[in-house]
Structure 1
Amino acid sequence: MRWKGIGLLVAMVFATPVARADDASHLALARDLVAAMHSADQMRQALPAMTKQVRPVLFAQAGGDDKSIDDFLARYNSGAEVQISEITDKIAQVYAQNFSDADLKAIATFYKSPAGIDFIAKQSTITQAAQAIGLQWGQGYVRDAVAQYKKERGVN
């Protein structure tokens, strides 16, 4: 019995590096996908909008003048590249957890294709339009649900 336990332990020890190599290979495929999707570029493009949103918050909560806020934001945003790298790595981990090697390769192949490149170029516009449609649907849903509920209850 004792030898079986030792044998199992030895097998696990020698199998671990292989599993880690597979995991590293799988994560590399996910990182390739994230790179093909230009996720880091999209985050860099979002940075000016986020900066614009945080400006009034900085004024309201910390005061200062335009120059001090601009100087601060320039310094703060210079660290964004490190954050973007960390975030894209976390995104790659999510893809790695949810897709097989074959799927990661196929999705990356799409994003590297002319259609995928065109999709990436139009993704922001499409997302904004889809969000507007979703917002309209949500507002209509609430409006219609309230109206229907009032009608059923006899409330004006």
Structure 2
Amino acid sequence: MKRFSGLLSAVALSAGLAFAAAPAMAQQPPAPPSVKQSTPAAIGYAKEILTMKNVQVMYAGAVPGIIEKTKTGLLQQYLNYQKDLDEVAVIVAKAYAGREKEIGDGMAQIYAAEFTEQELKDLVTFYKTPLGQKLLTSEPKAINDSLQYMQQWAQQFGVQVNAQFKAEMKKRGKDI
């Protein structure tokens, strides 16, 4: 499902890449923030919902992206090691292949903590209905279009605010 990908992949990847510059602090993935324990069934339903929403698309490139970002950062400091860093990037990519699954597992735990097992089961049932399928298909476009509208509105509003600032400053005898 390409639906969630456009909107969320950029957000998730940029957030992930932002942390790439920091040195690795721990060898195991962090636990999702303040997540209560859930039943295996609840986590299973949450994973099914996330699969239906195709959220894995938004973090599929996280591992290669973070590796590339880290390599690029190191290249800025050690330009004379480009060949070695290129070779090491391949080794690191192989060593960490599949780690993006941890993101999906963490997201499922978060969903399972936010909703009851019955609610998750009901959501799975709903998403399998024609309306649920339409929501899965149409909502990402609606969200994307809404975000684009908000950006356009903000740009136009910014022009108006800027003009108002200039007008108020002109009243004070200061042309800006």
Answer yes or no: same fold by TM over 0.5: yes
TM-score category of the 2 structures, normalised to the smaller one: 0.5 to 0.7
Residue in structure 1 matched with residue 112 of structure 2 by the alignment:
96
Match status 1:81 vs 2:98: yes
Residue in structure 2 matched with residue 145 of structure 1 by the alignment:
161
Change in Cα spacing, 1:57 to 1:138, as seen in structure 2 (3 Å) is farther
Q: 8 Å contact 2:42–2:117 — kept in the other structure? A: yes
Match status 1:119 vs 2:137: yes
Deviation at 1:50, TM superposition (A): 5.6
| Residue-pair matches, total | 133
Residue in structure 2 matched with residue 11 of structure 1 by the alignment:
none
Q: 8 Å contact 1:37–1:108 — kept in the other structure? A: no
Q: How does 1:1-156 map to 2 (within 5 A)?
A: 23-45=39-61, 56-64=72-80, 66-78=82-94, 79-82=96-99, 84-109=100-125, 110=127, 115=133, 119=137, 123=140, 131-153=147-169, 154=171, 155-156=174-175
What residue identity is the alignment partner of 1:101? E
* Cα displacement string for residues 73-98 of structure 1 (whole angstroms, at most 9, x for unaligned residues): 3233331412x122112211221232
Q: State which drifts further: 84-93 or 29-38.
A: 29-38
Q: State which drifts further: 63-72 or 26-35.
A: 63-72
Asked which structure has the greater CA Rg, the reply is: 1
Change in Cα spacing, 1:33 to 1:54, as seen in structure 2 (3 Å) is same
State the distance in 2 between where 1:64 and 1:139 align: 43
State the distance in 1 between where 2:61 and 2:145 align: 18
State the distance in 2 between where 1:62 and 1:126 align: 45
Taking only aligned residues, the RMSD between alpha carbons, in angstroms, comes to 4.0
* Cα displacement string for residues 12-58 of structure 1 (whole angstroms, at most 9, x for unaligned residues): xxxxxxxx7x6333222212222333333442246566666555433
Change in Cα spacing, 1:130 to 1:152, as seen in structure 2 (3 Å) is same
Which structure has the highest helix share of the two? 1
Secondary structure of the residue aligned to 1:81 is coil
> Identity rate of aligned residues, in percent?
20
Q: 8 Å contact 2:53–2:136 — kept in the other structure? A: no
Q: 8 Å contact 1:29–1:101 — kept in the other structure? A: yes
